[in-house]
Amino acid sequence: MKSDSKRQTVSIIHYEKPIDSVRKVVDLSHGLNHLPANAKVFIKPNIVFWSRFGTFPAFGVITTSRILEDMVILLKERGVEKILIGEGITLSDRKDRETPAHAFETLGYNRMKQKYGVEAFDLFERPYEKVTFGDGTTLNFATDFLKADFLINLPVLKTHAQTMVSLGIKNVKGTLDINSRKKCHSADPEKDLHYMVSKLQEAAPPGFTLIDGIYSNERGPAFDGKIRRENLLIGSRDMLSADKVGARVLGYDPSEVPHLVHAARDMARPIDLSDTEVLGEKIETVASKHRHDFPYTPDESRALPVAMKRMGVQGLSYRKYDLSMCTYCSSLNGILLTAISQAWEGKPWDDVEVLTGKMMKPTPGKKKTILVGKCMYQANKNNPHINELFAVKGCPPTTTQVVKAFNDAGIAIRPDIFEAKDQFPALFMKKYEGKPEFDINLFRVK
Ligand code: SF4
């Protein structure tokens, strides 16, 4: 997406109340000044995950319906007739259509259909088209997104364990089909996740990015991160500029964020804010450090998450996730670590190494090696450094496969933890009980 002005405007304002706050951030950045007459507008919220069981802890994970509805109101005021809301939620079962329908209903998207005549689509039920970039890379994007005249991009102000920040450019990943999402987590060091994510903005129609910072997420992007009520809105017609400012607000210089560096280079733009005018609140007064990383011990051959090391776990090496582990294996990874922690009874396991993603190589001399996921199995199934192999061949791996492989390797993880995974999000809601700043009504439409 190329911008039409050399100096980009980004506005930062404090969220105070419905409609007025979004109007302010839009007006200050002239966000809708270039909205074409009779435009077909595509709105991309960020839903990420959803569970149909209990109340979902949406804070810092999902775009507030409040901000989404306020944007729809501003578009309607400008006479926009055709407004599409589209999202492709990450699901463990790709045939599951009930979960997205439940999310859209709960978040009020169906109510917005009645109130404003918008259309809301589960993108996995819609067509996709191949886009070929200048370097020959291809990705399949939702046609509704590609063919829109104007994009309203509504990411959440959050960090991400792999991409450091997940803002406007990263939010576009939700318009890809499943194979293209997996492809973004390439094992090719030249075209790694950072590189692939940087390409996403090239396919985007012109538009307006509004980073929803009513809540922010440290160690995001999921509901297990540390959520803060920040009450910030960051808006710009230029996606890269919005992200550069968003990164600063999260405590990162844009030059530290590899996908922003790639994107700036591709557009022949500076990675600093020398081409950006920030209006409204000053970055320095609203910025705070948000950690993105989950700490692991440094020695690869005996690696463990720091929390597991503190528990005294022995006889297991579980290396830190790398960029090649895609979202589907990532969602399994957190539960698997919980299951392993619960299986620890103080007796060292039998020198077991667990490998994930697409790039890891076995450590010579380990007694047992568990390869998690089809990618890892294909990469290492014939590796001569593996003494005893336990394979989890699925893509994404199934609970049964994971439990069997670990049990066979002598780690007695329990299947019920995986079976209860849909209940996990609701358990997190307890953290927010009795705290009025965590207002679930921001995720509803009346
Ligand atoms: S095996 Fe895992 S990392 Fe590989 S594509 Fe499948 S879900 Fe993604």
CA distance 336 to 330: 10
- Ligand 1 atom nearest 396 alpha carbon: 7
CA distance 428 to 134: 44
φ and ψ of 226, to 5 deg = -95, 115
> Tell me, what's the pLDDT at 324?
98
Contact 67, 212 (CB under 8 A): yes
| Sequence-distant (≥ 6) Cβ neighbours of residue 436 within 8 angstroms | none
| Sequence-distant (≥ 6) Cβ neighbours of residue 358 within 8 angstroms | 185, 186, 187, 324, 325, 375, 376, 379
Contact 311, 346 (CB under 8 A): no
Q: Extract the tokens encoding 10.
A: 């980004």
For a pocket test of ligand 1, which of 325, 375, 380, 392 has the largest count of ligand atoms closer than 8 A to its C-beta? Answer: 375
Count of alpha carbons within 13 Å of 443, Cβ hemisphere only?
23
Cα separations (Å) of 133 from 225, 265, 289, 312? 34, 15, 34, 48
Query: Where does residue 30 fall: left (phi above 0), alpha (psi -120 to 50 degrees), or beta otherwise?
Result: left
Q: What are the residues facing 158 on neighbouring strands?
A: 166, 217
Give the distance (Å) from ligand 1 centre to CA of residue 205. 30
Give the distance (Å) from ligand 1 centre to CA of residue 88. 18
Task: Please write the tens of the pLDDT for every residue from 150-170.
Answer: 999 999 999 999 999 999 999
For a pocket test of ligand 1, which of 177, 328, 331, 354 has the largest count of ligand atoms closer than 8 A to its C-beta? Answer: 328
Give the distance (Å) from ligand 1 centre to CA of residue 444. 34
CA distance 58 to 229: 12
288 exposure class (CB count in 10 Å sphere: 0-12, 13-18, 19+): exposed
Q: Extract the tokens encoding 364.
A: 């010579």
Q: Extract the tokens encoding 93.
A: 């079962």
Closest-CA residue to 129 (of 168, 176, 97) = 176
Give the distance (Å) from ligand 1 centre to CA of residue 374. 6
CA distance 422 to 399: 13
Give the distance (Å) from ligand 1 centre to CA of residue 342. 25
Output the residue whose Cα is nearest ligand 1's atom 5: 182
> Tell me, what's the pLDDT at 2?
43
CA distance 239 to 322: 26
Contact 72, 83 (CB under 8 A): yes
CA distance 231 to 229: 6
Residue 372: CB within 6 Å of ligand 1?
no
Instruction: Write the DSSP symbol of residue 176.
Output: B
Residue 304: CB within 6 Å of ligand 1?
no
- Low-confidence spans in the chain with pLDDT less than 70: 1-5
Kindly give the residue spans of alpha helices, DSSP state H, lying in 107-150: 109-116, 143-146
Give the distance (Å) from ligand 1 centre to CA of residue 198. 21
Give the distance (Å) from ligand 1 centre to CA of residue 285. 41
Q: What are the residues facing 140 on neighbouring strands?
A: 130
CA distance 267 to 270: 9
Type of residue found at 346: G
Strands (E), 314-383: 316-318, 352-355, 368-372
| Sequence-distant (≥ 6) Cβ neighbours of residue 416 within 8 angstroms | none
Give the distance (Å) from ligand 1 centre to CA of residue 7. 41
Residue 396: CB within 6 Å of ligand 1?
yes
Type of residue found at 391: A
Output the residue whose Cα is nearest ligand 1's atom 7: 396
Q: Extract the tokens encoding 50.
A: 């959803």
Closest-CA residue to 262 (of 196, 213, 319) = 196
Cα 312 from chain centre: 32
Domains in the chain (CATH in brackets) are 8-289 (3.40.50.11440), 300-413 (no CATH)
Residue 325: CB within 6 Å of ligand 1?
yes
CA distance 242 to 234: 7
Cα separations (Å) of 435 from 430, 438, 439, 440? 10, 6, 8, 11
Output the residue whose Cα is nearest ligand 1's atom 4: 375
Give the distance (Å) from ligand 1 centre to CA of residue 324. 9
Give the distance (Å) from ligand 1 centre to CA of residue 340. 20
> Tell me, what's the pLDDT at 1?
47
CA distance 361 to 385: 9
Q: What is the mean pLDDT of the chain?
A: 95
For a pocket test of ligand 1, which of 178, 329, 356 has the largest count of ligand atoms closer than 8 A to its C-beta? Answer: 329
- Ligand 1 atom nearest 357 alpha carbon: 3
